[in-house]
Each structure stands twice: as C-alpha cells, then as structure tokens.
Structure 1
C-alpha cells in the first residue's frame, strides 16, 4: 500500500510545500520551493543557529501582524455591511409605522427583493414584492415576475407561481415565451408533469409564445431527474416535428442523465449525434459528463480514451475534470494514477477545492492510511477551506473501519466547536462505525444526537443497528428493531399509496375539467354556426 501511495506523497509534498507537518526529508529534491515552484539556492556553509532563530522569529511576527490586520479589516467590512442592512430594514419599518411606506426609495426595495430572490427566501421575497406594489412609483414589470416565478419553481411552490402568473396577466403585462417557460419550469421541477405538458401545448397555440429549445430542455431535464425516459423521447420527437434543434445544453443534459442511469448505449448514441452536428460543439461539460459516467462505473480504460479524444479536440480540462479523474481512480484503488493527476494539477497550478480534498481524504481513508488522511484534514483547514458533512463522513468511515473509537470522539468534539450542518447520512455513518466496534452506549448517544439535530432515523439507520446487534449476539434487540422497521416501511408504503391516489384523482379531475371546457367551447361554436345559418336564411 505504501508503494502504491509513493507518487501521491511526492505530488502532495511539492503541491503543499513547507506547511506539511511531516518531515521535509520524505519529499521532493532539496533546494526547491514548492509554493513558488522556483529553484532556491542552498548555501555551502552552515549559517549560525542563533541568527537563524532571530530571522525565523521576525518572519513569524510579521506574518502574525499581517494576519491580525487582515482580520481587523475583514471584521470592519462585515460590521459595515451588517449595519447597512440593519439600517435599511429599520428605515422600512419606521416608514411603515409613520404611514410613508408608499414612498420608499426604488433602490432600497429592489435590492431587498433581489437579495431574497437570490437566497431563495420565497416567503420574505413575496412580502417585499407586496411592499413594492404599494409604492407610488411602481409599474408592473414582466422581468420581476419571471424572476419570482423561477424562484418559486426552485422552492417547489408551483401554486404560488401560478398565482403570480395570473396576477401578472391581471396587471396588464404582456406575457411572453420566457414567462410561460418559467411557469412550466415551476410545475416540472415539482414533478407536476400534467400541468407542465398542458402549458407546453398552450404555448404552441400562442404565436408570440411558441416553445423554443430552452423550454424543451427544461422539461427534458425534469423528466430525466425522475428517470421518465419515455416522456423524454416524446419531447425529442416533438422538437423534431416543430423544427427545433437541440443545442449543446440539451445534449449535455441527456448525456449526463443517461450516464448516471448507466444507459451507456443511449449516452453514446447521443454523443455521436452531437459530434456529427457542425453547429453544436461539445464543451467541458460534455467531457465531464462522459468521464463521470465511465469512471463512476469502473470503466477506467474507456474514461481515459474519452479524455484523450476530448483533449485532442481542443477541450481544456477544468478542476471538475480532475476531481472526476481522482474520484474514479480512488474508487478503483488506482493510486499511482491518482498521483499522476495530482502532479499534473500541481504543474499547471490548479487550486484544490473542497471536493478535491474530500475525494483524496476518502481515498486515504479507504486505504487505511489514517496519518495522511488526518494531515489532509488539518491542511484543508489551514487553507481556510471549511470541512463539510462529506468530509466528516469519510473520517468516520475510516475510523470505524480501523476500530478507533477515541478518534470518533475527536470528530464529535470538532463538530461541537464548528457550525457544520449535519444530516441523516452522517449519523448513519456514525451508527455503522460504532456498530462495527460494538459500542452500544455510544450508539444510543447517536440516536439522541439525531433527535437534537432534527434528523430522523431512516431505513439505513435501523438496518445498521440490526446488523450491529445481530453480529454481537443481541438477537432480541435485533428482532425488536426488525419489527419496528417493518411497521415503518408499511406506514411509508401506505402514505405513498395515498399520495399517489390523490395525485391520480387530481389529474383525473383536471382532465375532466379540460374535457368539459372543450365541450362547452364546441357547443358555443355550434350555436354560433346555427345563428349565422339563421341570419343567412
């Protein structure tokens, strides 16, 4: 294992430089500065030790002073931003009380609205929008409505989006293709495909609102997310009938989704079709989706061939590309090639992201090299990259596999002193780790932590606990949990069945309503025809 990791160690040493806590003798050639990647001279005579200590202290003090100054500046900026925001809020509240809420400055209200839309705080955004509508200077704007509808779609609030769309029409705004696409997106993101397809059909009958490639791509993406490939084929055929050509984004969406679903035949045919088109060139997203598909399924040779083909076509790799390569090599335990990728990243100055750290930390953890894993964990913090739940899951899995219960305690202490948002996946890793070691007291403590954090145990939580109790001979406990899991699964099934029936009934009512409307329209046309016939005669 140490031999396999040799290249990784040397690559990391030259990449991270003197911040490495492991002795420098185990890294790269002497006389090189890995931070600046330049040769540094090594004096022949040994310098005086006291003068060296003085110089070191001076450098250290200067660095500390600089860090302190930077912290003060950052703090002052943060305070000024907070004060400005709080002042703006106070002004709005004061003017409301005073009765001047209709005379607010446009910039203040619009900035407040933009801030909330960007942060997807839909309830607060709608309140600010109501305040905006009350202003004396307010004029209906389609662009603002579209931004709000898109936000509500992302927040899975299609009914609210529909209400805003209707309000926009009532206010006399000219509804365009972009507005219809935003509403269609709001329904499709929530899995409300009946309404989304109804809007698509409606758009086809409005001359200035005909669906375009962007409209179809959004709907295709939503269908792919729920693996409804039949609807995707219908939409692609529909595009062809309407003379709408797929663009690079459409192809990338298809390639990525087919790859994730392990439908390699469809993925390859889509890629071939894209390459045949002269007006639709692949980009780095195409490359990343293809590499992820083959690398994620362990087809390393195919992944490497595709990488070479894309590079020969002039497509430059991004940090995401290297993360995909590292992840693929790490999961197939190809540590030599991992080292080669890291050397390439160091050579061409690609800075590591949190994803890069998580991938390499996980690789060392899987290999059982806790020393290097811990080094990377410390290093990412020194680089001011905040560990997240994925990082902590990798640590917990590695410590659980190695039987290091005291190290798991250290991870929990780190969490107490940080603001990392924990999820059920992390707690499941913790349950599994303690279960493997037979630490049942700590296992109960994890369930209490879950309750305090607002995370509910799921099937995986219970299955991990059943496995732990069974392995350690606690059959009664395991049996109790099996019964609990069975009742939980039954409840979930009944809930899913009820929801499915409700949605089916709603869809049926929508169809019935549509049929009645069509019949009424036809009746009106027939009456109109009869009246005209009587007049003519």
Structure 2
C-alpha cells in the first residue's frame, strides 16, 4: 500500500492531547486520588501535580552541527522537486488547507465508526479510525460506546488481540463501576487464547474493587498467585487498598498489608498516602496520624505534598483549625512545601469556620509567594461569602476575578445565584442570567437547579418553567433535586395538583422521569 507523506502530519496532529482548562479541573479531583496512567505498566500518579513546568531550552541550537552558511536556492528547489513537494514559500497556504481537509476527513471517519457498531457487515474498516474511536470512547468513559466499538474491532479481518487493549477497557469499566461487564471482557480475552498479564489482572482487580465487589477482587488476587510470572505487585495491592478506603472498608486494609509483608512487598509513598487520605476523609484522625508515623518510621518513605494536603484537608473539613495549623507548621519544618491545592483548602477551611481575616491572610501570602489564584480559589471565596450572606464581599471578589481575567464557570454562577436567592435579591439573579447568556460557559444540572429554585422561591413560576424547558435545550437531564424544587414551588403557591402529578410521575418512572410529560405539567401549571 502506498502511503501519502502528509499522512504523518495528520497522525502527529491527532496524537497530541488537548490541554484541559482549569475550569474543567477545578471541582473534579480529590486531595489524593490514584489513577492508572500507563496502560502497559500501570504506574500510579496523584491527582495533584506539583511538577514544575517544562522549560523548552534553545541550548541545542548553539551546539548542533548545523551549516549556517547561506543555502544556494537552486539545490533547495531541486530537493523539493525530488520529494514531490513544493517550496514552502509558494504553497504553504494550499498545503495547510490540504492538511486540514485530511484531518477533518480523519475525524469524520472516527465519528462514523461508532455508528457502525451495531452492524455485522463492516469487516474491512480503516484501522486508524477504529482504534482511535475506541481510544476516544475509553478516555471519555463512554463504556457502552467503547464496548460496541470493541465488538466491531474484533470483527475486522486485520484484528489481533492484545493484552494492552483489554487492560485499557478493564480500567475504564472500573471507573464506570461496571464489574459484571469487566468480568465478561476478561472471559472474552481468555477465549481468544491470550494469557493475562499482571497489568490485565491489576485492571480487573480495580474494576471489582472500585465497584465494591471485594469478594471478587480478592479472589482475582488469589488467581494471580496461581499463574506463573503473574504474582501481584505493589500496584495491584495499591489499587486494592485504594478501593478499601473509598468504601471505608478499613477492616480489610490490615489483611492486605499483612499479605504484602509476607510476600516481601514494601509500602511506597502512594500506598501510605492512600491510607492516610482514606482515614482522613472518614474522620478517623488517630488512625490517620498513626499511619503517618508508620510512614516516617518505615525509613524508605517520606511525607510529601500529597501527604500534607491529605492531613490539611482532613482537619480542615473537620473544622479542627488548631490541628490543621499545627500540622502545616510541622510539614514546613520537615521541608515539605505547600502548593496551590494546600492554600485553596486552607482558604475553604478558614471560610467555613468564619475566620475571614485568616482566609484573607492566606490569599495575601499567596500573592507574596507568586501563587496566582485560580478559578478554584475564587469559587471557594465566593461560595464562602455567599453562604455567610456577605453579598458585598462576594461581589467584590467576583468583580476582581473578572478584572484579572479569570473566567467564571458554572460553579461560580451557581454560588452567586444561590447567594442572591437566599438574600432575596432576585434582580441580581436576572443580572447573572444575562451575564451567562453572553458567555460561552457550559451549564450543567446543578446550575439549572439553583436557578429553578431561585425563581420558584421568588414566586416567578413562569420563569421557573422557562428555565426548566431550557434544560432540555441544553441537554441537561433533570434529577431528583430538580423535581423537589418544582414541587416545593407548586406547593408553596397552593398548586397541589401539579405537585402531586410530578410526585406520581417520579414514582412510576423514576429512571427517566418521563421528561415529555413533566414539561407538559410545568407548561400548564401556571
């Protein structure tokens, strides 16, 4: 097969992941959460990154053996002609358009793969399109689409089963809490004659453990021991411990640690941090500090910024401000420096405790140390002042945020609407809605719930109905909170019949809520 030279450019462009803005990261990560980041080695990484930015050095330009003498124009033109290409000066715009066209055709082919997932007649599809469509579905945790595409992949004439593919799918099913599907995929792998690797088994342990299926998770670990060169390693046990902490099955952690000690596997920083974070989130502060002591006494592990954030976050959430400050000082003496995540958690903790002066002092300290406040920082401050009814201070920080070029997101607007509604400032809610209409912010169900609740409490049932209909237009699914807000508004205004209809509909069709019928009820209620 003859490949066009420019296809390399298409592959390179499609291979680079898009950076996610802070607005998408701001409220999705916990202080210490483990992720499988490499499907082949199943290495671990924390949700918090304190890695310094990569510096692109130009030093190589000084030492490279590059002929800097003027290039004769004629040989250069001949070289282009030999390669069948045109000089850049005369054809850069045309080449760019051609490359863009190829990229768009490639993306269209990838999107078309999913539509063929239910058909059995497609057996000679473009490998690149099928594989990239599967990869996108896995990254997006769209497990149903991923399994359809995987079934389509297995029907291709050029298909060769690989353990790496199965490991990726199992990891995705673990994140989506689909243990039964994970078990079925593992059986398919065995039927294809593949021998499971440690990576595959570890991904299967994660799929069971992250779903709370501990019996199957521990049984899988036992199965690993009976397979040659497939004994559980530190990553297998780490995902098992992480699963136990998520479901607060601390009674199982001792068993896992004993088994690790028996087979000669020592805990690493990730293991200790997972245990410390789990105890902290459960409010088991004594166990948390004991685990920290074990970490220090082990000799091969030292507390790091992830440990610091787990301790600070635990005591902050528990409103034990003295303990939080004490351990902050202790970590500074140990040489563990705080990061932006640390300061954001301290701001939130001081705010919840009503200690606004200390909250401001942390922000001043961040400024002196050149820590730029992010969307998370401002959302925290706005939410704190909003819940406290300090509307002027909340508005002040919202305006400062916009002045500094920090783009508000749906969390920001949700906090503002809730605060204005609580203070009875419905005109301010109208102002926020105009602001949202003129922005490109991606709205979600919690935001619409706040707006529906605000107008419902203000007695403006017409606007409440309008925003409920807008949810459908924005592809935001209403949830139980949405219907609770609607029923509360109807009951408060004596419209018990409409409220009763909604309640009956929720009971009879609690999965889809019969959205079409709900809209009819809302339309005719006023």
1:290 aligns with 2:311: yes
Structure 1 residues 356 and 186: alpha-carbon distance in aligned structure 2, compared to 1, 3 A threshold: same
Q: Contact 1:462–1:481 (CA<8 Å) still a contact in 2? A: no
3-state DSSP class of the match of 1:333? Answer: coil
**Structure 2 counterpart of 1:55:** none
1:179 maps to which of 173, 192, 200: 200
2:229 aligns to what? Answer: 208
For residue 517 of structure 2, what is the aligned residue in structure 1?
A: none
Q: What residue is the counterpart of 1:359 in the other structure? A: 380
| CA deviations over 1:231-285 (Å, ceiling 9, x no partner) | 3343334334444332211221222222122121221221121121111111111
Q: CA deviation at 1:331?
A: 1.3
Q: Which residue pairs with 2:247 in the alignment?
A: 226
- Which residue of structure 2 lines up, in the alignment, with residue 275 of structure 1? 296
**Equivalent residue, structure 1, for 2:478:** 456
Structure 1, unaligned stretches of length 5 or more? 1-75, 493-537
1:236 maps to 257
Contact map agreement 2:347 2:380 (CA 8 A) in 1 = yes
Is the contact between residue 449 and residue 485 of structure 2 (CA under 8 Å) also seen in structure 1? no
Deviations for 1:110-166, whole angstroms, at most 9, x for unmatched residues?
545444432334444445555655666654332232122212322333344333333
Superposed displacement of residue 347, structure 1: 1.7
Deviations 1:64-91 (A, max 9, x none): xxxxxxxxxxxx9x99997444311456
Per-residue deviation at 1:439?
A: 5.0
Q: Would the aligned equivalents of 1:428 and 1:464 in 2 still touch at CA under 8 Å?
A: no
Q: Is the 8 A contact 1:326 1:360 kept in 2?
A: yes
- Decide which structure has greater helix share: 1
Bigger Cα displacement from structure 2, 106-115 vs 314-323: 106-115
5 Å-filtered alignment, 1:129-148, equals 129=150, 138-148=159-169
**In structure 2, C-alpha distance between the alignment counterparts of 1:157 and 1:172, rounded to whole Å:** 24
8 Å CA contact 1:288, 1:320 repeated in 2: yes
Q: Which residue does 2:285 correspond to in 1?
A: 264
Tell me how far apart the structure 1 counterparts of residues 447 and 212 of structure 2 sit (CA, whole Å): 28
| Map of 1:327 onto structure 2 | 348
Q: Is the CA contact 2:453–2:485 (under 8 Å) kept in the aligned structure 1?
A: no
Q: What is aligned with 2:105?
A: 87
How far did residue 327 of structure 1 move? 0.8
Q: TM-score, normalised by structure 1?
A: 0.65
Residue 427 of structure 2 corresponds to 406
Q: Structure 1 residues 489, 112: closer, same or farther in 2, change over 3 A?
A: closer
Check whether the contact 1:255–1:289 (CA below 8 A) recurs between aligned residues: yes
Secondary structure of residue in 2 paired with 1:411: helix
The 8 Å contact of residues 431 and 461 in structure 1, kept in 2 or not, is answered as: no
Q: How much is the aligned-residue C-alpha RMSD, in angstroms?
A: 4.0
Alignment gaps of 5+ in structure 2: 1-93, 511-526
- Aligned pairs (5 A) from 1:507-518: none
Contact 2:386 2:416 in 1 (8 A): yes
Distance 1:135 1:449 in 2: 43
Change (3 A) 1:486 1:135: closer
The match for 1:524 is none
CA 1:417–1:140: 2 relative to 1, 3 Å:
same
Contact 1:142 1:175 in 2 (8 A): yes
Q: Distance in 2 between matches of 1:222 and 1:249?
A: 13
Task: Note the alpha carbon deviations across 1:409-441, whole angstroms, 9 max, x for none.
Answer: 222333444454444543444455446555555
CA distance in 2, matches of 1:209, 1:317: 39
Matching residue within 169, 175, 179 for 1:154 = 175
The aligned runs of 1:415-454 (5 Å cut-off) are: 415-418=436-439, 420-430=441-451, 432-434=453-455, 437=458, 439=460, 442-443=463-464, 448=469, 454=476
Cα distance, 1:227 vs. partner?
Answer: 2.5
- Correspondence for 2:409: 388
How far apart are residue 174 of structure 1 and its match? 3.2
After the TM superposition, which of the residue ranges 379-388 and 349-358 deviates more from structure 2?
Answer: 379-388
